[in-house]
Structure 1
Amino acid sequence: MTSKYPTLEQMGITSFDSISRYSLRREARADVLKIYYHRPSGSLLSRSKKFTFARAKAKVAVEFQKTDAWHQLEDTSPLLRQAVAELQQLLKPATDTATSEDTRNAKQQLLADLEHMEAVMKDKLEELRRQIEELK
């Protein structure tokens, strides 16, 4: 059976449904990927796993102002790029669900604000009409 996330499995990650988010940062000459999990309170399982990927160095020739010079480049690990792509794929549905839920909450808030504004405007219009009647 072929896994949907072979790179993550290769890294030792098996509980895909528990992953909540990830972060990626650079430390010196390495990239650090940290994966966070949803865990119930009191769980003895770790809340995150940290993976460090060394940056490969390569020297390439570059032409700079008509002279040959050597420029040192550092590149990210292909394994890291694959892992991040799989994490994005894994977390995308959760992000879409959260976004639609946020949209639904925003819509409900706007409707509540609109109803409140209508009530305030109705009260103000009645007050103005009453004041006009008193002036006659």
Structure 2
Amino acid sequence: MTSAYPTLEQMGIHSFDSISQYRLRREARADVLKVYYHRPAGSLLSRSKKFTFARPKAAVPVEFQKTAQWHQLDDTSPVLRQALVELQQLLNTAGPDGDDATRDSKQQLLQDLEHMERVMKAKLEELRRQIAALK
């Protein structure tokens, strides 16, 4: 039996009907794909999987790396490109364009900021507990 999503299967993704969304971001020398799952409360299964795809090393000036063109370079992994196609098919979403992409980017940044705030708050509370235990 041939899967409809062979690239995702090769990446270790098998619960296709549990996928709720995915995010793609570009880090310094890699693309990071994060796939999120619908999970019931109290589930021991992970709520997400993270995949990192290295980019080829290129001599690009730092100033250029801060531009929009840098984020649109076509040097992404072919496996990543195929995985994105399969995820879009799976979730019945069209590729982002125009204002939708801007709104999605802003929404993602806000979600990332909220997540980072929760993580930092939890870490600070943990450190305070450890300090209190030392007294």
Q: Which bin holds the TM-score, normalised by the shorter protein? A: 0.5 to 0.7
Q: What amino acid does structure 1 have at the position aligned with 2:78?
A: P
Corresponding residue SS for 2:92: helix
Structure 2: gaps spanning 5 or more residues:
60-72, 94-135
Partners of 2:51 and 2:14 in 1: CA distance = 15
Please give the per-residue CA displacement for 1:20-49, whole angstroms capped at 9, x wherever unaligned: 000000010100000000000000000000
Is the Cα contact below 8 Å between 1:34 and 1:49 reproduced in 2? yes
Q: 1:87 to 1:29 in 2, by over 3 A?
A: same
- After TM superposition, the structure 1 = structure 2 runs for residues 42-121 of structure 1, keeping only pairs within 5 Å, are 42-57=42-57, 75-92=75-92
1:3 is displaced (CA, Å) by: 0.4
Contact 2:31–2:52 under 8 Å retained in 1: yes
Aligned residue type for 1:4: A
Matched with 2:15 is 15
1:23-42 matches, cutoff 5 A: 23-42=23-42
Normalized per residue, the structure richer in strand is: 1
**Which residue does the alignment assign to 1:130?**
none
For the Cα contact (< 8 Å) 1:56–1:74, is it kept in 2? no
- Deviation of 1:56 after TM superposition, in Å, equals 2.2
Which protein has the larger Cα radius of gyration, Structure 1 or Structure 2?
Answer: 1
Q: What TM-score does the superposition give when structure 2 sets the normalisation length? A: 0.56
Q: TM-score, normalised by structure 1?
A: 0.55
Corresponding residue SS for 1:56: coil
Q: Which runs of 5+ in 1 are unaligned?
A: 60-72, 94-136
Runs of 4 or more above 6 Å deviation: none
- The alignment-based identity, stated in percent, is 82
